[in-house]
Amino acid sequence: MPDEMEMQMPRQMAYDRASVVFSPEGRLFQVEYARKAVQSLSTTTLGVVFKNGVVLAANKIVSKLLVSDAPEKVFQIDEHIGAATCGLIADSRILIDYARIRAQVNRITYGESIEVKALVKDISDRKQKFTQIAGVRPYGVGLLIAGNDGVPRLFETDPSGAMREWKAHAIGRGSKVAEKIFEEEYKEGISKDKAIELAMKALHAAEPSTSAKSIEIGIVEDNKFKLLSKKEIADILKK
């Protein structure tokens, strides 16, 4: 006769293989695995709100053989919104494209730029939908979305579709280290320079191997988003 462990394995696998089936404990294992892909396996991504805007920064894996200098983790969504990704790069690309389309549809339909919170909710709804459909898997990506539509705002969306607003936040494998620095040193109403300094300190503590080549930085300031060049990042790190 099969022992107790052999009897439990098929039962556990039944809840493990489908994202739409709850385990007896009320867990969705596929969603938890997607979160693990973001929190444990991906390089650190973070954001800091300052007086007139938001700083987004991320560390990525680099190689001297890599040709492209195209952004991999920090992107512009609309003229006043940027996003930093953490998790599966392919999933990130799909969601970034989706967010850009939603922003442009809003502009064409209503003749104005989309509100930051409305866009974040739209992305979160799409993520949540992929936890309810059989035959698909959740998006294995977390997003930090920064924007300024009168007030600087920083939102997080995780693979489950949950959304939260933060003053400073980090996701990825070094998030706990970065969060500790934020909790100790962040102050509301800080200046842009202080926000960048705090972001770099937290990122370096979380990812000691950071360099100008591995870091991407985007800044939303006065309703405009800008992706910094490698030279601008190098100048920041020299300080």
pLDDT at 6: 46
pLDDT at 90: 93
Which residue out of 43, 45, 85, 131 is catalytically annotated? Answer: 43
Any catalytic annotation for residue 210? no
Report the length, in residues, of the chain: 239
pLDDT at 92: 95
Rounded to 5 degrees, φ, ψ at 142 are -110, 150
pLDDT at 239: 77
pLDDT at 15: 64
pTM over 0.85: yes
Give me the residues of the chain with pLDDT under 70, please: 1-19, 68
**Which domains are assigned to the chain?**
26-238 (3.60.20.10)
